[in-house]
Amino acid sequence: MTRAELIHQIKTKHTFLCVGLDPDTEKIPKHLLTEEDPIYEFNKAIIDATAPYCVSFKPNTAFYEAYGLSGLTSLEKTIRYLNANYPDHFLIADAKRGDIGNTSAMYARAFFKRLDCDAITIAPYMGSDSVKPFLEFENKWAIVLGLTSNEGSSDFQQQKMNGKFLYEYVIQTSAGWGTPNNMMFVIGATKANMLTDIRAIIPEHFLLIPGVGAQGGSLADVCKYGLNKDIGLLVNSSRGIIYVSNGTDFAERAAAEAKKMADEMKTYLNH
Amino acid sequence: MTRAELIHQIKTKHTFLCVGLDPDTEKIPKHLLTEEDPIYEFNKAIIDATAPYCVSFKPNTAFYEAYGLSGLTSLEKTIRYLNANYPDHFLIADAKRGDIGNTSAMYARAFFKRLDCDAITIAPYMGSDSVKPFLEFENKWAIVLGLTSNEGSSDFQQQKMNGKFLYEYVIQTSAGWGTPNNMMFVIGATKANMLTDIRAIIPEHFLLIPGVGAQGGSLADVCKYGLNKDIGLLVNSSRGIIYVSNGTDFAERAAAEAKKMADEMKTYLNH
């Protein structure tokens, strides 16, 4: 998907919500467990219910790998379902991959060519040649970890490197490897006050913001400091949407929660 | 596998070689491509041929994910073959995973419980809670990226943080999250002169050294600066061993190359 198409979707639907698909068989509704592929059935229902209120879906690969080949089959089916039925939704593989060049090229092939995702999240520790192979595919995106929303982000990301916080240094350096048309950054929403400094470094890039909802970030703050002229935000919620209910009403309740977030987003877009 | 068992294997077999299983259907022998599962057949032959000369095998997940479910099936079969036939070989999933706590826990479950690997490589950018879930499994290991062997290691790892190189800071900090009995570090062999400084920080830990062979590192230098009282090294070669020949003699030739490395290792062990 191109940047122009993504912006068009956001402006048309008045939402920049991304729904995280992190299925956990201990949390999904019990009545689905008798299905042949409970994870896929769960995802399909969540996708169909929340699609009107979001512009993006983000399966997290860990939640599929944990179930072995059966989980990976569910992942592949979910991605094919999304590509077939929701081609206008921006599809992010939240995989946090990154390795030496020839290996990153194999990951890029897996997620961009075989699975036809629009984007993949990338861990930047190994530097330029671990990221660049993901930038060589037309209309595909590398979403590089900048500042994450977890406690451990203080260990390295929030330590100083060359006079800057590591996350600022990583953002500034890696932004030079691509363009705002093929790179985004993960910025944890629990650190909304740092968004001003980040926007000074990358005014144009889209930011993928996890941590709103279950992890405690504030949507108002994220919008106040993060929005740019092209919106420039994708705000993700996973657990806060998909696990609102584990009864037979799980999909409706997820839709209601997604709608609530989209309604709030709409107010910030109209400012 | 425990540290004591690993050291016993190394001392008994006089080798600390790790063979990297990075199958690429464009590089493996053409005559295997007619098999039902060429990657698995390739791996089995390489494993059987090189097992006498190594103490560890390291499948790199990217090279399986690139082939989708069929590749992931080959990976699972390869790992089950190793566990069934070579339980004394230290089995490393070279996956470079790492995410927020609940997600890292899912990856740990995938690689330690489902696949029963001994170890997994971890990207440290997200800090403590992204690494610690991998340390909660008895006799399992987290192998944290310290200094990698690729060009991009200069972008961040070799920049200064709090007066140290980032890789030194990462090694020092993350070493405190575990013990030499459940953590190792990846140290690129092309930077052997930095091993002295690294050994000053972590005298006891095992180091997983990629980059000998195809990436140009010197085994002599690695041993000179990296060996400790318990050996403390696993030296990996992937392409340098598994792709010596793509004829029908590929396994014998891989064995010969592995034996050559093991023979050289033996001379350093006898010093």
* CB < 8 Å to B142, chain A: none
Residues of chain B with pLDDT under 70: 213-216, 271
> B250-269 and B38-50 are packed helices; what angle lies between their axes, rounded to 10 degrees?
40
CATH code assigned at B143 = 3.20.20.70
Contact: A131, B152; criterion CB under 8 Å: yes
Report how far residue A65's alpha carbon sits from residue A60's, in angstroms, rounded to the nearest whole number: 9
> Could you read off the pLDDT of B201-236 as tens digits, one per residue?
999 999 999 978 666 678 999 999 999 999 999 999
Instruction: Identify the three-state secondary structure at position B73.
Output: helix
> Could you read off the pLDDT of B85-123 as tens digits, one per residue?
999 999 999 999 999 999 999 999 999 999 999 999 999
Q: Of the candidates A67, A154, A162, which has its C-beta nearest B160's C-beta? A: A162
User: DSSP states of A214-237 as a string?
Assistant: TT-B-HHHHHHHH-BTTB-EEEEE
Contact: B151, A161; criterion CB under 8 Å: no
Report how far residue B193's alpha carbon sits from residue B198's, in angstroms, rounded to the nearest whole number: 10
Residue with tokens 């079969």: B77
Express as a percent the part of chain B with pLDDT over 70. 98
Report residue A118 as tokens: 């629009």
Contact: A166, B162; criterion CB under 8 Å: no
CB A170 within 8 A of CB A144: yes
Angle at A94 between CA A81 and CA B68, to 5 degrees: 55
Contact: A126, B145; criterion CB under 8 Å: yes
Calculate how close chain A gets to B214, using CA atoms only, in Å: 12
Q: Of the candidates A96, A145, A161, which has its C-beta nearest B97's C-beta? A: A96
Per-residue pLDDT tens, chain A, 271 aa: give them: 999 999 999 999 999 999 999 999 999 999 999 999 999 999 999 999 999 999 999 999 999 999 999 999 999 999 999 999 999 999 999 999 999 999 999 999 999 999 999 999 999 999 999 999 999 999 999 999 999 989 999 999 999 999 999 999 999 999 999 999 999 999 997 777 799 999 999 999 999 999 786 666 789 999 999 999 999 999 999 999 999 999 999 999 999 999 999 999 999 997 5
Closest-CA residue of A relative to B104 is: A62
The residues of B assigned a catalytic role are 96
Most B CBs within 10 A among A64, A83, A94, A100, hence the mutation to make, goes to A100
The structural domain count of chain B equals 1
Q: Which helix (H) or strand (E) holds A250?
A: helix A250-269
Domain that holds residue B8: 3-269
Burial B27-62 (b: 16+ CB within 10 A, else e): ebbeebeeeebbbbbbbbbbbebbbebbbbbbbbbb
Calculate how close chain B gets to A127, using CA atoms only, in Å: 4
Closest-CA residue of A relative to B165 is: A161
Contact: B156, A127; criterion CB under 8 Å: yes
Q: Of the candidates B76, B98, B150, which has its C-beta nearest A96's C-beta? A: B98
Neighbours of B157 (CB within 10 A): 24
Which residue type is seen at B68?
Answer: G
